[in-house]
Amino acid sequence: MRLFYSSGSPFARAVRVALRETGLLATIAEQETTLRDPAAILLPHNPVGRVPTLVLADGTALTETALILPFLDTLGGAYRLLPEASRGPLGLVLGAMDGMAVWNRELRRPPEERSPGVIALETTRLNRAADVLEAQAAAGQWALTGPPDAPRITLGCLLGYAEYRHRAWAWRQDRPALAAWYDAIAARPSFQATIPPVSGI
Ligand SMILES: N[C@@H](CCC(=O)N[C@@H](CS)C(=O)NCC(=O)O)C(=O)O
């Protein structure tokens, strides 16, 4: 099996961290691909051209993080990434990640092509989600008591994206519990091994 990823993608990073935490990296090879590129090595496998894409032994291309993470649980890794109780939190974090990706995409356009309405909507969405996450973190709901499950991994990647690739968002401000939580998970070897390159945004 082969996982296509790009080093800047927080979605792909969540799968890459999960492979390292569960020990499944021993059975799944990682291959970096370009994106939005007609010559991308990913396109013959997945015409949608997005990462993460996991190509299975029978050639099936499994795309979408919310499908790949539960699939990993079928492969006999060190622990279960997505017990039933983790589905709600995972959806919350992936929704926030979608919003941040839309906001980031706007900021990559030339200034005259950016939509202030889209930026305002996504900023509000992301802050609203982060405020809920801050309250949950302060109440101990995201405590790291063992190896991280899928929502914890994905939340670490969401905030990591804000740290390295979407610094337009001052996410740490007034969110001390979330900031402390992130600093702890970001120190794990799986996160250290997958740090995305810094972008100018
Ligand atoms: N809903 C998808 C989103 C994946 C996604 O948006 N990936 C981006 C990188 S962060 C991508 O591949 N973009 C390339 C493109 O839009 O062509 C998931 O959860 O996996």
> Which CATH number characterizes residue 172's domain?
1.20.1050.10
Give the pLDDT score at 200.
Answer: 85
Last residue of a domain, one of 53, 75, 97: 75
As a three-state string, the secondary structure of 20-38 is HHHCHHHCCEEEECCCCCC
The span from the CA of 149 to the CA of 159, in Å, is 16
Read off the pLDDT of residues 138-180 as tens digits, 9 standing for 90 and up: 999 999 999 999 999 999 999 999 999 999 999 999 999 999 9
Residue nearest to ligand 1 atom 17, measured at CA: 36
Check whether residue 121 and residue 175 sit in a common domain. yes
The pLDDT confidence band at residue 110, using thresholds 50, 70 and 90, is: very high
Last residue of a domain, one of 55, 75, 95: 75
- Please report the atom of ligand 1 found closest to the CA of residue 64: 20
pLDDT (average), residues 40-55:
98
Based on the structure, what is the number of domains in the chain?
Answer: 2
Last residue of a domain, one of 27, 45, 75: 75
Domain of residue 29, residue span: 2-75
Check whether residue 55 and residue 89 sit in a common domain. no
Give the pLDDT score at 164.
Answer: 97
pLDDT (average), residues 5-15:
98
Check whether residue 36 and residue 109 sit in a common domain. no
Length of the chain: 201
- 175 with 159: CB under 8 angstroms? no
Q: List ligand 1's pocket residues with C-beta within 6 A.
A: 9, 11, 35-36, 49-52, 64-66, 101
CA 49 to chain centre: 17
- Please report the atom of ligand 1 found closest to the CA of residue 35: 14
For residue 28, the SS3 value is coil
The reply to whether 165 falls in a domain is yes
Q: pTM score, two decimals? A: 0.97
Q: How far is the CA of 81 from the centre of ligand 1 (A)?
A: 21
The reply to whether 22 falls in a domain is yes
> Which CATH number characterizes residue 8's domain?
3.40.30.10
pLDDT (average), residues 30-55:
98
pLDDT (average), residues 39-47:
97
200's torsion region: left (phi>0), alpha (psi -120 to 50) or beta? alpha
Q: Parallel, antiparallel, or unpaired: how do β-strands 2-5 and 53-55 relate?
A: antiparallel
